[in-house]
Chain A
Amino acid sequence: MNKTVLAAIIVVIAMLGFTYVAVGSAGGMGGDGDWVNKLAVLGAVVLVIVTAFVVTKYVRQMQSDTASGKLADENWDGIGEYKNELPLGWAVIFLGSIIWAIWYFLAGYPVNAYSQIGEYNEEVAAHDTKFEAQYANMDDATLNAMGESVFIVQCAPCHGLQADGMGGKAADLHVRLAEQSVKHAVVNGANNNLLGTSMPMPDRNGLMNANTNALVTDAEIDAVAKYVAGGLKGTEGADVFAGTCAACHGPDGKGMEMVAPNIAEMSPAMVDMVLRHGKKGAIGAMPAFTNLTEVQYKALDAYVASLSKK
Protein backbone atom coordinates (compact mmCIF):
# COMPACT_ATOMS: atom_id res chain seq x y z
CA MET A 1 0.00 0.00 0.00
CA ASN A 2 1.10 3.54 -0.79
CA LYS A 3 2.80 5.29 2.16
CA THR A 4 0.60 8.37 1.82
CA VAL A 5 -2.63 6.37 1.98
CA LEU A 6 -1.32 4.53 4.99
CA ALA A 7 -0.48 7.80 6.75
CA ALA A 8 -3.96 9.15 5.94
CA ILE A 9 -5.64 6.06 7.41
CA ILE A 10 -3.56 6.37 10.60
CA VAL A 11 -4.43 10.08 10.91
CA VAL A 12 -8.14 9.37 10.37
CA ILE A 13 -8.16 6.64 13.01
CA ALA A 14 -6.25 8.87 15.44
CA MET A 15 -8.62 11.82 14.92
CA LEU A 16 -11.74 9.68 15.19
CA GLY A 17 -10.32 8.21 18.38
CA PHE A 18 -9.66 11.71 19.69
CA THR A 19 -13.22 12.71 18.80
CA TYR A 20 -14.55 9.72 20.69
CA VAL A 21 -12.46 10.51 23.75
CA ALA A 22 -13.56 14.16 23.62
CA VAL A 23 -17.31 13.75 23.18
CA GLY A 24 -18.10 10.05 23.35
CA SER A 25 -18.39 10.05 27.13
CA ALA A 26 -20.92 12.92 26.96
CA GLY A 27 -23.33 10.53 25.25
CA GLY A 28 -22.72 11.85 21.75
CA MET A 29 -21.93 8.43 20.32
CA GLY A 30 -24.29 6.44 22.49
CA GLY A 31 -28.06 6.12 22.33
CA ASP A 32 -28.80 8.52 25.15
CA GLY A 33 -27.29 11.65 23.56
CA ASP A 34 -29.65 14.18 21.99
CA TRP A 35 -29.74 14.62 18.22
CA VAL A 36 -27.73 17.87 18.23
CA ASN A 37 -24.75 16.04 19.73
CA LYS A 38 -25.15 13.20 17.25
CA LEU A 39 -25.28 15.64 14.36
CA ALA A 40 -22.14 17.40 15.59
CA VAL A 41 -20.27 14.14 15.95
CA LEU A 42 -21.43 13.03 12.53
CA GLY A 43 -20.20 16.35 11.12
CA ALA A 44 -16.80 15.86 12.79
CA VAL A 45 -16.44 12.37 11.37
CA VAL A 46 -17.36 13.54 7.87
CA LEU A 47 -14.95 16.46 8.11
CA VAL A 48 -12.09 14.21 9.19
CA ILE A 49 -12.67 11.70 6.41
CA VAL A 50 -13.19 14.30 3.66
CA THR A 51 -10.12 16.24 4.76
CA ALA A 52 -7.97 13.12 4.76
CA PHE A 53 -9.30 12.10 1.33
CA VAL A 54 -8.69 15.53 -0.26
CA VAL A 55 -5.25 15.97 1.28
CA THR A 56 -4.24 12.47 0.18
CA LYS A 57 -5.44 13.12 -3.36
CA TYR A 58 -3.44 16.33 -3.75
CA VAL A 59 -0.32 15.04 -2.01
CA ARG A 60 -0.29 12.08 -4.43
CA GLN A 61 -0.91 14.43 -7.35
CA MET A 62 2.06 16.58 -6.28
CA GLN A 63 4.20 13.45 -6.05
CA SER A 64 3.36 12.13 -9.51
CA ASP A 65 2.18 15.10 -11.61
CA THR A 66 4.34 16.59 -14.34
CA ALA A 67 3.87 19.97 -15.95
CA SER A 68 2.49 20.02 -19.48
CA GLY A 69 1.55 22.57 -22.08
CA LYS A 70 3.29 25.16 -24.21
CA LEU A 71 5.83 27.44 -22.45
CA ALA A 72 5.52 31.18 -22.90
CA ASP A 73 8.40 32.94 -24.64
CA GLU A 74 9.32 35.11 -21.66
CA ASN A 75 11.07 33.70 -18.66
CA TRP A 76 12.23 35.32 -15.46
CA ASP A 77 15.59 34.17 -14.12
CA GLY A 78 14.88 30.80 -15.69
CA ILE A 79 11.36 30.53 -14.27
CA GLY A 80 8.85 30.16 -17.08
CA GLU A 81 5.08 30.14 -17.46
CA TYR A 82 2.80 27.75 -19.34
CA LYS A 83 0.30 29.22 -21.74
CA ASN A 84 -2.58 27.13 -20.41
CA GLU A 85 -6.18 28.31 -20.72
CA LEU A 86 -7.75 29.69 -17.53
CA PRO A 87 -10.22 27.24 -16.00
CA LEU A 88 -13.64 28.49 -17.11
CA GLY A 89 -15.26 28.38 -13.68
CA TRP A 90 -12.39 30.32 -12.14
CA ALA A 91 -12.52 33.00 -14.83
CA VAL A 92 -16.28 33.42 -14.48
CA ILE A 93 -16.03 33.78 -10.71
CA PHE A 94 -13.14 36.28 -11.06
CA LEU A 95 -15.00 38.53 -13.49
CA GLY A 96 -18.21 38.13 -11.52
CA SER A 97 -16.46 39.31 -8.36
CA ILE A 98 -15.22 42.44 -10.11
CA ILE A 99 -18.71 43.29 -11.35
CA TRP A 100 -20.19 42.51 -7.94
CA ALA A 101 -17.56 44.70 -6.20
CA ILE A 102 -18.42 47.67 -8.43
CA TRP A 103 -22.11 47.19 -7.70
CA TYR A 104 -21.42 46.77 -3.98
CA PHE A 105 -19.38 49.94 -3.58
CA LEU A 106 -21.59 52.14 -5.75
CA ALA A 107 -25.12 50.85 -5.14
CA GLY A 108 -25.35 47.91 -2.75
CA TYR A 109 -23.57 49.40 0.23
CA PRO A 110 -21.95 52.68 -0.78
CA VAL A 111 -18.89 53.41 1.33
CA ASN A 112 -20.25 56.81 2.37
CA ALA A 113 -23.76 55.57 3.17
CA TYR A 114 -23.17 54.95 6.84
CA SER A 115 -22.71 57.58 9.49
CA GLN A 116 -22.91 57.17 13.22
CA ILE A 117 -25.01 60.31 13.57
CA GLY A 118 -27.31 59.09 10.81
CA GLU A 119 -27.87 55.89 12.72
CA TYR A 120 -28.53 57.91 15.86
CA ASN A 121 -31.07 60.10 14.05
CA GLU A 122 -32.86 57.05 12.73
CA GLU A 123 -32.89 55.52 16.19
CA VAL A 124 -34.37 58.68 17.70
CA ALA A 125 -36.97 59.06 14.94
CA ALA A 126 -38.05 55.44 15.32
CA HIS A 127 -38.28 55.81 19.09
CA ASP A 128 -40.24 59.07 18.88
CA THR A 129 -42.76 57.58 16.45
CA LYS A 130 -43.28 54.59 18.70
CA PHE A 131 -43.49 56.78 21.81
CA GLU A 132 -46.09 59.09 20.27
CA ALA A 133 -48.21 56.19 19.03
CA GLN A 134 -48.04 54.41 22.36
CA TYR A 135 -48.88 57.41 24.51
CA ALA A 136 -51.24 59.32 22.21
CA ASN A 137 -54.22 58.66 24.47
CA MET A 138 -53.11 57.99 28.00
CA ASP A 139 -55.40 57.17 30.85
CA ASP A 140 -54.76 58.84 34.21
CA ALA A 141 -52.95 55.85 35.68
CA THR A 142 -50.44 55.74 32.80
CA LEU A 143 -49.99 59.51 32.95
CA ASN A 144 -49.31 59.30 36.67
CA ALA A 145 -46.88 56.40 36.24
CA MET A 146 -44.98 58.28 33.54
CA GLY A 147 -44.92 61.42 35.69
CA GLU A 148 -43.51 59.44 38.59
CA SER A 149 -40.81 57.78 36.51
CA VAL A 150 -39.72 61.09 34.96
CA PHE A 151 -39.74 62.60 38.45
CA ILE A 152 -37.42 59.89 39.77
CA VAL A 153 -34.92 60.49 36.97
CA GLN A 154 -35.05 64.28 36.58
CA CYS A 155 -36.32 65.72 39.86
CA ALA A 156 -35.36 63.29 42.62
CA PRO A 157 -31.63 64.19 42.60
CA CYS A 158 -32.56 67.54 44.18
CA HIS A 159 -36.11 67.19 45.53
CA GLY A 160 -35.54 63.67 46.86
CA LEU A 161 -37.33 60.43 46.13
CA GLN A 162 -40.06 61.46 48.58
CA ALA A 163 -40.30 64.92 46.92
CA ASP A 164 -39.78 66.44 50.35
CA GLY A 165 -36.75 68.53 49.38
CA MET A 166 -34.40 66.39 51.50
CA GLY A 167 -34.41 68.51 54.63
CA GLY A 168 -34.45 71.94 53.00
CA LYS A 169 -31.98 71.23 50.15
CA ALA A 170 -34.76 71.93 47.65
CA ALA A 171 -38.43 72.87 47.73
CA ASP A 172 -40.82 70.45 49.47
CA LEU A 173 -43.27 69.67 46.67
CA HIS A 174 -46.01 68.49 49.00
CA VAL A 175 -46.82 72.07 49.89
CA ARG A 176 -47.36 75.01 47.56
CA LEU A 177 -45.02 77.34 49.44
CA ALA A 178 -42.75 76.97 52.46
CA GLU A 179 -42.71 79.69 55.08
CA GLN A 180 -39.23 80.86 54.10
CA SER A 181 -40.28 81.07 50.44
CA VAL A 182 -43.24 83.34 51.28
CA LYS A 183 -40.96 85.50 53.42
CA HIS A 184 -38.35 85.61 50.66
CA ALA A 185 -40.94 86.77 48.13
CA VAL A 186 -42.49 89.37 50.41
CA VAL A 187 -39.16 90.79 51.52
CA ASN A 188 -37.36 90.72 48.16
CA GLY A 189 -40.26 90.93 45.73
CA ALA A 190 -40.47 88.64 42.74
CA ASN A 191 -40.29 88.96 39.01
CA ASN A 192 -43.33 87.71 37.17
CA ASN A 193 -41.45 86.47 34.13
CA LEU A 194 -42.96 83.04 34.53
CA LEU A 195 -46.42 84.57 34.14
CA GLY A 196 -45.36 86.19 30.90
CA THR A 197 -45.46 89.73 32.27
CA SER A 198 -42.56 91.99 33.17
CA MET A 199 -44.59 93.72 35.90
CA PRO A 200 -42.84 92.47 39.06
CA MET A 201 -44.20 91.86 42.53
CA PRO A 202 -42.81 94.72 44.66
CA ASP A 203 -40.51 94.06 47.61
CA ARG A 204 -41.52 94.96 51.16
CA ASN A 205 -40.97 98.65 50.48
CA GLY A 206 -43.87 98.56 48.06
CA LEU A 207 -46.34 96.35 49.92
CA MET A 208 -49.01 98.30 51.78
CA ASN A 209 -51.32 96.68 54.27
CA ALA A 210 -54.76 98.17 53.51
CA ASN A 211 -55.94 97.45 57.04
CA THR A 212 -53.28 99.57 58.70
CA ASN A 213 -52.52 101.79 55.73
CA ALA A 214 -48.80 101.33 56.30
CA LEU A 215 -45.98 99.20 54.91
CA VAL A 216 -45.98 95.57 56.09
CA THR A 217 -44.08 95.05 59.32
CA ASP A 218 -41.79 92.17 60.34
CA ALA A 219 -44.51 90.72 62.59
CA GLU A 220 -47.05 90.89 59.79
CA ILE A 221 -44.64 89.19 57.37
CA ASP A 222 -44.09 86.36 59.84
CA ALA A 223 -47.81 85.97 60.38
CA VAL A 224 -48.73 85.97 56.70
CA ALA A 225 -45.87 83.60 55.87
CA LYS A 226 -47.25 81.08 58.36
CA TYR A 227 -50.76 81.63 57.02
CA VAL A 228 -49.82 81.08 53.34
CA ALA A 229 -47.48 78.18 54.10
CA GLY A 230 -50.29 76.60 56.12
CA GLY A 231 -52.54 76.57 53.07
CA LEU A 232 -54.56 79.72 53.86
CA LYS A 233 -56.20 78.11 56.86
CA GLY A 234 -56.81 79.53 60.33
CA THR A 235 -57.23 83.13 61.40
CA GLU A 236 -53.73 84.27 62.31
CA GLY A 237 -52.34 86.22 59.39
CA ALA A 238 -55.64 86.11 57.51
CA ASP A 239 -56.19 89.85 57.98
CA VAL A 240 -52.72 90.66 56.64
CA PHE A 241 -53.38 88.42 53.65
CA ALA A 242 -56.70 90.11 52.99
CA GLY A 243 -55.19 93.56 53.36
CA THR A 244 -51.95 93.02 51.42
CA CYS A 245 -51.85 89.94 49.23
CA ALA A 246 -55.47 89.48 48.19
CA ALA A 247 -55.38 92.56 45.97
CA CYS A 248 -53.35 90.63 43.37
CA HIS A 249 -53.50 86.98 44.42
CA GLY A 250 -57.28 87.09 45.03
CA PRO A 251 -59.14 86.54 48.29
CA ASP A 252 -58.81 82.76 47.86
CA GLY A 253 -55.13 83.00 46.84
CA LYS A 254 -55.79 81.44 43.47
CA GLY A 255 -54.15 84.27 41.58
CA MET A 256 -55.09 86.19 38.46
CA GLU A 257 -54.17 85.59 34.86
CA MET A 258 -51.11 87.68 33.87
CA VAL A 259 -51.09 89.42 37.27
CA ALA A 260 -50.24 87.05 40.07
CA PRO A 261 -49.69 83.30 40.39
CA ASN A 262 -51.85 80.85 42.28
CA ILE A 263 -50.37 80.61 45.79
CA ALA A 264 -53.12 78.49 47.28
CA GLU A 265 -52.27 75.24 45.54
CA MET A 266 -49.97 73.65 42.97
CA SER A 267 -51.36 73.87 39.47
CA PRO A 268 -50.03 71.93 36.48
CA ALA A 269 -49.63 75.20 34.55
CA MET A 270 -47.41 76.66 37.26
CA VAL A 271 -45.30 73.49 37.47
CA ASP A 272 -44.95 73.56 33.68
CA MET A 273 -43.70 77.16 33.74
CA VAL A 274 -41.06 76.41 36.38
CA LEU A 275 -39.93 73.26 34.55
CA ARG A 276 -39.43 75.06 31.26
CA HIS A 277 -37.83 78.22 32.61
CA GLY A 278 -36.26 77.28 35.92
CA LYS A 279 -36.39 79.64 38.88
CA LYS A 280 -34.38 81.20 41.68
CA GLY A 281 -36.00 81.37 45.08
CA ALA A 282 -35.33 81.33 48.78
CA ILE A 283 -33.37 78.06 48.72
CA GLY A 284 -31.39 78.40 45.53
CA ALA A 285 -31.62 78.19 41.79
CA MET A 286 -33.44 75.49 39.82
CA PRO A 287 -32.27 74.94 36.25
CA ALA A 288 -34.68 74.82 33.33
CA PHE A 289 -35.46 71.34 32.03
CA THR A 290 -35.53 71.50 28.26
CA ASN A 291 -34.84 67.90 27.39
CA LEU A 292 -38.34 66.48 27.90
CA THR A 293 -41.00 65.69 25.31
CA GLU A 294 -44.40 67.41 25.42
CA VAL A 295 -46.01 64.23 26.73
CA GLN A 296 -43.42 63.99 29.48
CA TYR A 297 -44.01 67.64 30.46
CA LYS A 298 -47.73 66.94 30.69
CA ALA A 299 -47.19 63.84 32.80
CA LEU A 300 -44.69 65.53 35.10
CA ASP A 301 -46.87 68.64 35.52
CA ALA A 302 -49.83 66.51 36.57
CA TYR A 303 -47.74 64.31 38.84
CA VAL A 304 -46.03 67.17 40.71
CA ALA A 305 -49.30 69.09 41.04
CA SER A 306 -50.95 65.97 42.46
CA LEU A 307 -48.27 65.54 45.17
CA SER A 308 -49.65 68.36 47.30
CA LYS A 309 -53.15 66.90 47.19
CA LYS A 310 -52.21 63.55 48.67
Chain B
Amino acid sequence: MFHWLEKNPFFFAVAVFVVIAFAGLIEILPNFAQASRPVIGTKPYTTLELAGRHVYIKNSCNACHSQLIRPFKSETDRYGHYSLSGEYAYDRPFLWGSKRTGPDLMRVGNYRTTDWHENHMKDPAGVVPGSIMPAYRWMFKNTADIDTAYAEQLTVMKAFAVPYNAEIPMVDGSKATVTLADTVEGARASALEEAKVIAADMKDQDVKDAVAAGQVPEIVALIAYLNSLK
Protein backbone atom coordinates (compact mmCIF):
# COMPACT_ATOMS: atom_id res chain seq x y z
CA MET B 1 0.00 0.00 0.00
CA PHE B 2 2.61 2.53 1.09
CA HIS B 3 5.01 1.40 -1.64
CA TRP B 4 2.24 1.96 -4.12
CA LEU B 5 1.50 5.44 -2.70
CA GLU B 6 5.18 6.36 -2.79
CA LYS B 7 5.29 5.59 -6.46
CA ASN B 8 2.16 7.68 -7.26
CA PRO B 9 2.74 11.28 -6.11
CA PHE B 10 -0.81 12.40 -6.94
CA PHE B 11 -2.48 9.71 -4.84
CA PHE B 12 0.12 10.27 -2.14
CA ALA B 13 -0.96 13.94 -2.01
CA VAL B 14 -4.61 12.86 -1.82
CA ALA B 15 -3.80 10.47 1.02
CA VAL B 16 -1.90 13.18 2.93
CA PHE B 17 -4.85 15.52 2.52
CA VAL B 18 -7.29 12.91 3.81
CA VAL B 19 -5.14 12.12 6.87
CA ILE B 20 -4.74 15.79 7.80
CA ALA B 21 -8.37 16.63 7.03
CA PHE B 22 -9.54 13.76 9.24
CA ALA B 23 -7.92 15.33 12.29
CA GLY B 24 -9.57 18.63 11.39
CA LEU B 25 -12.96 17.02 10.87
CA ILE B 26 -13.10 15.23 14.22
CA GLU B 27 -11.98 18.39 16.01
CA ILE B 28 -14.09 20.95 14.18
CA LEU B 29 -17.32 19.23 13.11
CA PRO B 30 -18.68 18.15 16.54
CA ASN B 31 -18.17 21.64 18.03
CA PHE B 32 -19.59 23.21 14.93
CA ALA B 33 -22.68 21.01 15.00
CA GLN B 34 -23.20 21.75 18.69
CA ALA B 35 -22.88 25.52 18.24
CA SER B 36 -25.26 25.55 15.28
CA ARG B 37 -28.16 24.09 17.25
CA PRO B 38 -30.90 26.67 17.77
CA VAL B 39 -30.44 28.52 21.06
CA ILE B 40 -33.32 28.59 23.51
CA GLY B 41 -35.79 31.23 22.38
CA THR B 42 -34.99 31.00 18.67
CA LYS B 43 -38.18 30.35 16.71
CA PRO B 44 -38.73 29.60 13.04
CA TYR B 45 -40.28 32.42 11.01
CA THR B 46 -44.03 32.71 10.57
CA THR B 47 -45.42 32.97 7.05
CA LEU B 48 -45.67 36.76 7.14
CA GLU B 49 -42.21 37.17 8.68
CA LEU B 50 -40.71 34.92 6.03
CA ALA B 51 -42.45 36.91 3.29
CA GLY B 52 -40.92 40.03 4.88
CA ARG B 53 -37.54 38.34 4.86
CA HIS B 54 -37.95 37.81 1.12
CA VAL B 55 -38.71 41.54 0.76
CA TYR B 56 -35.54 42.26 2.78
CA ILE B 57 -33.48 40.06 0.45
CA LYS B 58 -35.19 41.34 -2.71
CA ASN B 59 -34.30 44.93 -1.87
CA SER B 60 -30.73 44.00 -0.87
CA CYS B 61 -31.07 45.38 2.64
CA ASN B 62 -28.17 43.10 3.55
CA ALA B 63 -25.88 45.11 1.25
CA CYS B 64 -25.90 47.96 3.78
CA HIS B 65 -27.13 46.36 7.00
CA SER B 66 -25.39 43.52 8.80
CA GLN B 67 -27.10 41.06 11.11
CA LEU B 68 -24.15 40.08 13.23
CA ILE B 69 -23.21 41.69 16.54
CA ARG B 70 -19.59 41.04 17.41
CA PRO B 71 -18.51 40.52 21.02
CA PHE B 72 -17.09 44.01 21.56
CA LYS B 73 -18.27 46.34 24.31
CA SER B 74 -18.96 49.15 21.84
CA GLU B 75 -21.23 46.90 19.76
CA THR B 76 -23.12 45.23 22.58
CA ASP B 77 -23.77 48.67 24.12
CA ARG B 78 -25.39 49.82 20.94
CA TYR B 79 -27.06 46.71 19.52
CA GLY B 80 -27.55 44.32 22.44
CA HIS B 81 -26.16 40.86 23.22
CA TYR B 82 -23.54 39.56 20.79
CA SER B 83 -24.80 37.08 18.20
CA LEU B 84 -24.63 33.31 18.74
CA SER B 85 -24.37 30.82 15.87
CA GLY B 86 -27.50 29.02 17.03
CA GLU B 87 -29.57 32.14 16.54
CA TYR B 88 -29.18 31.71 12.78
CA ALA B 89 -30.45 28.11 12.85
CA TYR B 90 -33.57 28.97 10.84
CA ASP B 91 -31.95 31.55 8.55
CA ARG B 92 -31.71 30.21 5.01
CA PRO B 93 -29.59 31.89 3.82
CA PHE B 94 -28.11 33.77 6.79
CA LEU B 95 -27.98 37.54 6.27
CA TRP B 96 -24.82 38.42 8.19
CA GLY B 97 -23.84 40.99 5.59
CA SER B 98 -20.28 42.18 5.25
CA LYS B 99 -20.59 45.96 5.37
CA ARG B 100 -22.31 48.38 7.67
CA THR B 101 -23.31 51.40 5.68
CA GLY B 102 -26.33 51.46 7.97
CA PRO B 103 -26.55 50.08 11.52
CA ASP B 104 -26.73 46.40 12.43
CA LEU B 105 -30.27 44.97 12.47
CA MET B 106 -29.71 41.72 14.39
CA ARG B 107 -31.94 42.85 17.29
CA VAL B 108 -33.75 45.83 15.79
CA GLY B 109 -37.07 44.41 17.03
CA ASN B 110 -35.99 45.22 20.58
CA TYR B 111 -35.68 48.97 20.14
CA ARG B 112 -37.72 50.05 17.11
CA THR B 113 -41.47 49.86 16.62
CA THR B 114 -43.94 49.42 13.77
CA ASP B 115 -44.77 53.12 13.50
CA TRP B 116 -41.06 54.06 13.53
CA HIS B 117 -40.36 51.67 10.66
CA GLU B 118 -43.31 53.08 8.74
CA ASN B 119 -42.05 56.66 9.05
CA HIS B 120 -38.50 55.59 8.35
CA MET B 121 -39.16 53.50 5.23
CA LYS B 122 -41.20 56.35 3.75
CA ASP B 123 -38.66 59.08 4.45
CA PRO B 124 -35.49 57.99 6.27
CA ALA B 125 -34.01 61.49 6.48
CA GLY B 126 -37.21 62.75 8.09
CA VAL B 127 -36.58 60.48 11.08
CA VAL B 128 -32.80 60.30 11.12
CA PRO B 129 -31.38 63.68 10.05
CA GLY B 130 -28.58 63.25 7.52
CA SER B 131 -29.45 59.64 6.75
CA ILE B 132 -28.31 58.50 3.30
CA MET B 133 -30.73 55.58 3.18
CA PRO B 134 -33.10 55.83 0.22
CA ALA B 135 -36.89 55.80 0.71
CA TYR B 136 -38.69 52.56 -0.13
CA ARG B 137 -42.12 53.92 -1.05
CA TRP B 138 -42.98 51.13 -3.47
CA MET B 139 -43.13 48.70 -0.55
CA PHE B 140 -46.34 50.47 0.50
CA LYS B 141 -47.91 49.58 -2.86
CA ASN B 142 -46.46 46.21 -3.87
CA THR B 143 -48.08 43.08 -2.53
CA ALA B 144 -45.99 40.59 -0.59
CA ASP B 145 -45.59 37.07 -1.95
CA ILE B 146 -47.21 34.94 0.73
CA ASP B 147 -47.41 31.80 -1.44
CA THR B 148 -43.64 31.62 -1.93
CA ALA B 149 -43.06 32.11 1.78
CA TYR B 150 -45.45 29.25 2.52
CA ALA B 151 -43.70 27.06 -0.05
CA GLU B 152 -40.37 27.76 1.66
CA GLN B 153 -41.85 26.94 5.06
CA LEU B 154 -43.13 23.59 3.79
CA THR B 155 -39.79 22.85 2.16
CA VAL B 156 -37.64 23.60 5.21
CA MET B 157 -40.03 21.69 7.45
CA LYS B 158 -39.77 18.57 5.28
CA ALA B 159 -36.14 18.85 4.19
CA PHE B 160 -34.50 20.22 7.35
CA ALA B 161 -37.05 19.26 10.04
CA VAL B 162 -37.63 22.88 11.05
CA PRO B 163 -39.99 22.59 14.03
CA TYR B 164 -43.23 24.13 12.82
CA ASN B 165 -46.31 23.03 14.79
CA ALA B 166 -43.98 21.83 17.56
CA GLU B 167 -43.23 23.16 21.02
CA ILE B 168 -40.14 25.36 21.21
CA PRO B 169 -38.55 26.24 24.56
CA MET B 170 -38.38 29.95 25.33
CA VAL B 171 -36.00 31.85 27.59
CA ASP B 172 -38.55 32.32 30.37
CA GLY B 173 -39.23 28.58 30.54
CA SER B 174 -42.49 28.67 28.62
CA LYS B 175 -43.15 26.90 25.34
CA ALA B 176 -44.02 28.61 22.11
CA THR B 177 -45.48 27.07 18.97
CA VAL B 178 -45.17 28.48 15.47
CA THR B 179 -48.11 27.08 13.55
CA LEU B 180 -47.93 26.24 9.88
CA ALA B 181 -51.17 25.95 7.98
CA ASP B 182 -52.09 22.73 6.15
CA THR B 183 -53.06 24.50 2.96
CA VAL B 184 -51.91 27.58 1.12
CA GLU B 185 -55.34 29.16 1.75
CA GLY B 186 -54.80 28.64 5.47
CA ALA B 187 -51.33 30.20 5.22
CA ARG B 188 -52.75 33.24 3.44
CA ALA B 189 -55.41 33.60 6.13
CA SER B 190 -52.93 33.37 9.01
CA ALA B 191 -50.56 35.82 7.30
CA LEU B 192 -53.48 38.23 6.93
CA GLU B 193 -54.30 37.89 10.64
CA GLU B 194 -50.70 38.83 11.49
CA ALA B 195 -50.81 41.66 8.97
CA LYS B 196 -53.90 43.12 10.63
CA VAL B 197 -52.05 43.46 13.93
CA ILE B 198 -49.19 45.31 12.23
CA ALA B 199 -51.49 47.49 10.11
CA ALA B 200 -53.42 48.56 13.22
CA ASP B 201 -50.24 50.31 14.42
CA MET B 202 -49.65 51.99 11.05
CA LYS B 203 -50.93 55.30 9.76
CA ASP B 204 -50.79 54.91 5.96
CA GLN B 205 -54.41 54.75 4.80
CA ASP B 206 -53.58 52.84 1.59
CA VAL B 207 -51.89 50.12 3.63
CA LYS B 208 -54.81 49.91 6.04
CA ASP B 209 -57.27 49.71 3.14
CA ALA B 210 -55.23 47.02 1.41
CA VAL B 211 -55.06 44.87 4.54
CA ALA B 212 -58.77 45.37 5.15
CA ALA B 213 -59.36 44.16 1.57
CA GLY B 214 -57.31 41.02 2.21
CA GLN B 215 -54.03 42.13 0.60
CA VAL B 216 -50.67 42.18 2.38
CA PRO B 217 -48.44 45.06 1.23
CA GLU B 218 -44.69 44.38 1.27
CA ILE B 219 -44.10 46.97 3.97
CA VAL B 220 -46.34 45.08 6.41
CA ALA B 221 -44.44 41.84 5.80
CA LEU B 222 -41.10 43.64 6.14
CA ILE B 223 -42.10 45.27 9.42
CA ALA B 224 -43.30 41.90 10.73
CA TYR B 225 -39.87 40.50 9.88
CA LEU B 226 -37.97 43.42 11.43
CA ASN B 227 -40.08 43.21 14.60
CA SER B 228 -39.23 39.51 14.86
CA LEU B 229 -35.47 40.26 14.96
CA LYS B 230 -34.76 40.10 18.67
Contact = CB atoms under 8 A, between A and B. Distances in A.
A137 to B, nearest CB: 23
Question: Contact residue range for chain A?
Answer: 20 to 34
A169 B82 contact: no
A285 B111 CA distance: 10
Interface stretch (B44-52, B123-131, B169-177): B123-131
A289 B127 contact: no
B127 A124 contact: no
A124 B76 CA distance: 10
Interface string A148-183: 000001100110010000100110000000000000
Interface residues of B, number: 21
A287 B201 CA distance: 14
B103 to A, nearest CB: 10
Contacts, number: 49
Contact of B82 (A120, A158, A166, A286): A120
Nearest to B77: A291
Contacts of B77: 291
Given A157-B128, A161-B129, A169-B127, A120 B110 contact: no
A88 interface: no
A287 B113 CA distance: 7
Nearest to B109: A287
Nearest to A288: B110
Interface in B71-123: 71-73, 76-78, 80, 82, 110-116, 119
Nearest to B126: A166
Interface string B198-211: 00010000000000
Contacts of B72: 120, 123
Contact of A166 (B71, B80, B127): B127
A275 to B, nearest CB: 12
A285 B114 contact: yes
Interface hub of A123, A158, A161, A289 (most chain B Cβ within 10 A): A158
A169 B129 CA distance: 14
Contacts of B116: 157-158, 169-170, 284
B62 to A, nearest CB: 21
Given A117-B71, A169-B119, A286 B113 contact: yes
Interface of B: 71-73, 76-78, 80, 82, 110-116, 119, 126-129, 201
6 contacts: A158-B113, A169-B116, A284-B114, A285-B115, A287-B113, A291-B80
Given A157-B128, A287-B110, 10 more contacts: A120-B71, A153-B78, A157-B116, A161-B129, A166-B126, A169-B115, A284-B116, A285-B114, A285-B201, A286-B113
